[in-house]
Amino acid sequence: MNNLVIKNCKLIGKTGEYTITIEDGKISDISKLTEKSSNIIDVKGQIVLPGLIDPHVHFRDPGLTYKENMKTGSMAAANGGFTTVIDMPNTIPKTNTLKAYKEKLEITRKKSVINTLIHAGANTFENMNEIAKLNPISYKIFTDLESDSSLNEIFSNISKLDLDNPIVTIHGEDKRIVEDSTEMMKEKGTDEPIDYAYARPSNAEDTAVSKVIDLAKKYNLKIHICHLSSKKSLEIIKNEIDNVDISYEFTPHHLLLNANAFKEYGNIVKTNPPLRLEGENLSISNVNESSILGTDHAPHSLEEKNNIVWQCPSGMPNIENVLSLLLTEVNNKRLDLKIIPKILSENAANRFNLKGKGKIQKGYDGDLTVIDLKKEGQFNVDEFYTKGKYSPFDKTSYKGKSTMTIVNGKIVMEDNIVYDTN
């Protein structure tokens, strides 16, 4: 029997120290007694969280592996304390056919050192219904690429799939507003990084969020809004929360930075949606116990990021620093430690129906993240496992860090050393 015993664990919401026993990849016991075992790990009073879950990553495999691949991305995730991620479909080819979906499943099986699940891309009804046989996590729609009529057709098709309660995952920016605003800023000719905040304004997100809520109500579908960045969009969602089955995620960059960061960091902070103008942006105060955090980990090469703003791709790596960023907020009394396991694990597990994940409980998967709440340091991108060696948080001080990542009862990261378990 594959057995791992972790002793002297502090658990959030409980007093004293506990021993967690994992047998054959599942939590078999949580008690104040330590069982005999040849495989005992003493975490010496560190806090143990349910394994972190990131519902939004871009590991770039297949087709864009010079930016990231399933191996480097999953090792970066493990280094950041994540035991499960859900990969997005905009690879080459897109994960929107049964063939491409199966091929990516095989890539995750061969390369990933953690649990890696995948979102499916939106396509024809026939393609989506074929993928439905494999019970995808969601179908992802990029509203900045689709017309209103196309969006209506996609929602209609998803509602007819042979699948119980499918989730539609949304990139919410209105296509027309983005195109018109981008053209206007390009004609201005200044080519400053902050121009991008005006090229994709917050009302593009507000409009798209309103549209997909109407479509979700029309077709009785569940929707999940990715990387919510606009204060008004959050208000729109809260006003409709009783009328539609909707969830949303925050990213660390949209919570901790605003458009002023373009002036300091340039194109490395260019993302879709962009960092918002001060007053239109969200902040850490918007996070509560029902929130979901998604990193939108989306690395590119430094050569690409050094292009002028209109030719520079959007995205930044986030998965290795988000936990420490949030634990620093905890230490600074701006977040409650008690909500960390909810916003980084339990809520995503519930929303995306990840059975056996999101809690430290008997019978659940042996996915755990050990943290040292007092460990201090500075982020150093050169020590990251991701291929994306850039970040606005590079050299930023933190307090609080993951020290061990356990996936299905196996240690995959210990003190920044990630083991290649494949």
Catalytically active residues, by annotation? 296
Pairwise CA distance, residues 21 & 31, whole Å: 9
Phi, psi torsion values for 70, nearest 5 degrees: -60, -35
Beta bridge partners of 169: 140, 224
Burial of 368 (0-12, 13-18, 19+ CB in 10 A): buried
- Burial state string for 238-268 with b = 16 or more CB within 10 A and e = fewer than 16: eebeeebebbbbbbbbbbbbbbebbeebbbb
Q: Which residues contact 200 (CB under 8 A, 6 or more apart)?
A: 144, 173, 178, 181, 182, 272, 273, 274
Crossing angle of helices 125-132 and 148-159, in 10° steps, is 40
Phi, psi torsion values for 362, nearest 5 degrees: -55, 135
For residue 392, whether the previous peptide bond is cis, meaning omega lies within 30 degrees of 0, is: no
**What residue type is assigned to position 237 of the chain?**
I
